[in-house]
């Protein structure tokens, strides 16, 4: 079944018709690399691939493969090459079967966890059974946020390891990579979402570096956020985009395939993880992550947040992606420029314990600034850093009209 699909994917037309319904994790381990090589080939070339093209990509990606590994993969390519081409109808049925098998494996593994007494196994299994129907396909998640510039302008009425694109921050923290978990927090109207957008979509950001980024919105609609991402990348204000939408669209085309946004106000952790797995995301940003629904009964809000952050950390590990939440600061942070982890809203110790990286954004209160310290000055304080060990404050300037942070 998998071999037939891999043979069909050599066709550019077949690949483009079915790529949204496929994920590397649908394939058995020995065939997963072949699928990844095929997708790499189609991203680089716009024509049908030959089996020798895919083989060349595999050898490029595996320069230290042993003779045994080379012989094994060579046999796999020979078998794929002998497979017959698939019709669209048969291909769709086979892909559905792959998804059924994948879901079946997940249910079986959760059943084992349940018998072993893993604390949240029952809630995760129940959620999976509720969310996943027989023959589940990625389209069941609904349509992703539009990237059509005219529609975004019409539907939004307001302005609304990956290196950090702020030089001092990049030198000090290095970046954030697979299985790592960080948070960005600040008071309302400080620019925490703008910071997340800037490091993802600004020049030199995660998208330009080649990361597949999934931005999940749990507060502001992602139609607004997508427009702000276009501003951050293009360097154009909303007014400039209104005047020159084609220019903005052409500029944004350089990174739009690396960015996906989705509103998740009604989603729980299980559905979020399923979507991450489907997209095979490198970096996941959850804007207002504290609001994500989590199953269970908790006697206090700080207990719920502690369990939520523990679960997000485990999610990052399972999916081998970087996870970054955007969160609120407590009232104690008001008027302070340098925030510590204890200034986070909610479970301060519980949340902090699960983090690899904690970035607090501070600013002066209105009326407290003078000509030498403009209102858009922001103070990025690293209060927890398991990635490089550096702690300190980086002073930046927020450019709110284009959602960029610059030194």
Same domain, yes or no: 113 and 174? no
Q: Which of 381, 383, 376, 365 is nearest to 405 (CA)?
A: 376
In Å, what is the CA distance from 161 to each residue of 56, 176, 210, 386, 387? Answer: 26, 5, 11, 13, 10
Supply 215's token pair. 């931005």
Q: Are residues 260 and 358 in the same domain?
A: yes
d(CA 141, CA 160): 25
Q: Which of 141, 169, 203 is the last residue of a domain?
A: 141
pLDDT attached to residue 139: 47
Assess contact for 192 and 369: CB atoms under 8 A: no
pLDDT at 258 over 50: yes
The stretch 382-393 carries a mean pLDDT of 92
Higher-confidence residue of 380 and 35: namely 380
Residues 15 and 37 in one domain: yes
pLDDT-based confidence at residue 134 (cuts at 50, 70, 90):
very low
pLDDT, one tens digit per residue, over 297-314 is 778 888 889 899 999 999
Q: Which domain holds residue 158?
A: 149-406
Reported confidence tier of residue 140, pLDDT bands at 50, 70, 90 = very low
CATH classification at residue 278 = 3.40.50.300
Residue 123 shares a structural domain with residue 247 = no
167 and 104 within one domain: no
Read off the pLDDT of residues 240-255 as tens digits, 9 standing for 90 and up.
999 999 999 999 999 9
- Cα gap 79→259, rounded to integer Å: 35
Q: Cβ–Cβ contacts within 10 Å for residue 311, how many?
A: 21
Query: Which runs of consecutive H residues, i.e. helices, occur in 45-87?
Result: 51-61, 67-82
Lowest mean pLDDT segment, chosen from 100-104, 227-231, 371-375: 371-375
Residue-wise pLDDT tens digits, 149-187 = 776 665 544 333 899 999 999 989 888 999 999 999 999
Tell me the pLDDT of the chain averaged across its residues: 85
Residues 124 and 158 reside in one and the same domain: no
Same domain assignment for residues 118 and 193? no
Q: What percentage of the chain carries pLDDT values higher than 70?
A: 87
Same domain, 273 and 383: yes
> Following CA atoms 45, 46, 51, 57 in sequence, which dihedral angle do they give, to the nearest 10 degrees?
20
Most confident of 88-102, 147-161, 188-202: 188-202
**Residue-level pLDDT at 23:** 80
Q: What is the CATH number of the domain that holds 65?
A: 1.10.860
Read off the pLDDT of residues 12-33 as tens digits, 9 standing for 90 and up.
888 887 777 788 877 887 788 8
Q: What is the phi/psi pair of residue 39, to 5°?
A: -65, -40
Name the residue with tokens 């020995």.
30
pTM of the complete model beyond 0.75: no
pLDDT at 160: 33
Residues in the chain: 407
């Amino acid at each position: 079944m998998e071999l037939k699909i891999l043979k069909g994917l050599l066709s550019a037309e077949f690949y483009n018709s079915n790529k949204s319904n496929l994920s590397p994790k649908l394939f058995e381990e020995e065939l997963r690399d072949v699928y990844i090589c095929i997708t790499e080939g189609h991203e680089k070339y716009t024509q049908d691939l030959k089996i020798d093209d895919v083989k060349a990509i595999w050898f490029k990606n595996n320069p230290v493969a042993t003779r045994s590994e080379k012989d094994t993969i060579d046999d796999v390519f020979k078998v794929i090459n002998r497979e017959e081409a698939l019709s669209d109808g048969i291909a769709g049925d086979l892909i559905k079967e792959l998804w059924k098998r994948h879901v079946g494996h997940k249910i079986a593994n959760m059943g084992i966890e349940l018998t072993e007494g893993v604390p949240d196994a029952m809630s995760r299994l129940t959620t999976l059974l509720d969310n996943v129907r027989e023959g589940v396909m990625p389209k069941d998640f609904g349509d992703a946020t539009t990237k059509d510039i005219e529609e975004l302008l019409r539907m939004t009425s307001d302005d609304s390891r990956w290196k950090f694109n702020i030089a001092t921050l990049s030198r000090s923290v290095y970046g954030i990579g697979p299985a790592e978990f960080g948070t960005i927090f600040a008071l309302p109207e400080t620019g925490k979402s703008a910071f997340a957008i800037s490091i993802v979509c600004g020049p030199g950001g995660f998208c330009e570096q080649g990361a597949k980024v999934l931005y999940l919105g749990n507060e502001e609609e992602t139609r607004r956020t997508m427009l702000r991402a276009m501003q951050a990348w293009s360097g154009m204000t909303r007014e400039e985009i209104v005047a020159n939408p084609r220019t903005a669209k052409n500029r944004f085309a350089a990174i739009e395939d690396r960015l996906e946004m989705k509103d998740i106000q009604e989603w729980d952790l299980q559905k979020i993880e399923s979507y991450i797995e489907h997209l095979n995301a490198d970096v996941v940003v959850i804007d207002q992550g504290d609001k994500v629904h989590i199953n269970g009964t908790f006697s206090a809000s700080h207990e719920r947040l502690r369990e939520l952050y523990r679960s997000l950390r485990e999610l990052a590990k399972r999916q081998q992606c970087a996870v970054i939440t955007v969160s609120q600061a407590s009232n104690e942070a008001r008027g302070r420029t340098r925030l510590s982890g204890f200034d986070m809203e909610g479970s301060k110790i519980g949340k902090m314990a699960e983090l690899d990286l904690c970035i607090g954004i501070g600013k002066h209160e209105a009326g407290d600034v003078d000509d030498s310290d403009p209102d858009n000055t922001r103070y990025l304080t690293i209060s927890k850093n398991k990635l490089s060990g550096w702690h300190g404050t980086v002073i930046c300037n927020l450019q709110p009209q284009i959602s960029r942070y610059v030194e």
